[in-house]
Amino acid sequence: MNRALDLADPALHESLTRRVEAVRALLRTIAADFAPAAFACSLGAEDMVLTDLIIRDHLPIEIFSLDTGRLPAETYELIDTLHKYYGLKLRLFYPRHELVERYTRENGINAFYDSIELRQRCCFVRKVEPLQRALAGRKAWITGLRASQAATRAGLPLRSFDADHGDGGLEKFNPLAEWSENEVWAYLKLNKVPYNALHDRFFPSIGCAPCTRAITPGEDIRAGRWWWENPEAKECGLHVKRP
């Protein structure tokens, strides 16, 4: 989390109040006008904000997550905490075993370190393909993406049409697109929302264990993801439009 956060800052409270009201209104619209809609929860800090808001307002939006099979122990602990804290039985989608077996047999268990191509293929097997199944039959999907998270997410829209998922495409919403890191953490702290313990150990962005490390002061918040690659390549494919 951001250790410079001042929870008593009136300006922060004012901006957060506006942000929350806007997101709650958007989520209600999605639930009413784009059913069935689903929230793809990555279990990161931003996604805990949306999880809390969806559950607090009892919205008919399914919350699901992708279990790649290589998540950190702390992420599994958070899944268990969500069940105990909210009563949330998080729906998990897993990779197809035959695809994982083929990938590791042909390339090795940690082949994603060898090239961007092999890393992206691993992400496809463990994330992209399961997401395609998770979004089948949906009219909209919701993410916790923020524009300031990475160079690849600059100009992130609040809403767009995703032609690559669903049955012929669906609407994609990024309700936190314009939120700051401070606003995310202020919401979590002020509302006592559970979050991944790794965030307190300098892991601002958390994915699979082998592809995530802690960052040092001054590094970009996505520096710990696929740290051996250039910033412009740091996406797993979930949010990259196919040509």
- Catalytic amino acids? 236
The amino acid sitting at 22 is A
Return d(Cα 118, Cα 121) in angstroms, integer: 5
Q: How far, CA to CA in Å, does 59 sit from each of 35, 70, 140, 173?
A: 11, 30, 14, 15
